[in-house]
């Protein structure tokens, strides 16, 4: 049961297909800069999006 709770906690909502997915995380740098960029890729539809922080599902 703990594994399912953890997986749900780290999953994201894809902005394109609107499915709850365990997105592929891409960490990198902007060319010519030390600024980092964090991207998420949906394994179902292939959409890529950027957010400052992933939205975590919080249980009440």
Backbone Cα Rg of the chain = 13
Backbone angles phi, psi at 13, to 5 degrees: -95, 120
Q: Above 60 in pLDDT, residue 55? A: no
Q: What pLDDT is recorded for position 26?
A: 92
Name the pLDDT band for 60 (thresholds 50, 70, 90): low
pLDDT tens, residue by residue, 6-46: 777 789 999 999 999 999 999 988 899 888 888 999 999 99
Q: What pLDDT is recorded for position 57?
A: 56
**DSSP states along 38-56:** EEEE-TTT--EEE-SSPPP
Class level of CATH domain 2-50: mainly beta
pTM passes above 0.95: no
Domain ranges of the chain: 2-50
């Amino acid at each position: 049961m703990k594994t399912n709770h953890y997986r749900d906690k780290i999953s994201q909502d894809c902005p394109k297909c609107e499915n709850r997915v365990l997105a592929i995380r891409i960490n990198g740098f902007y060319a010519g800069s030390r600024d980092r960029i964090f991207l998420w890729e949906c394994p179902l539809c292939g959409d890529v999006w950027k957010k400052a922080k992933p939205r975590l599902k919080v249980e009440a």
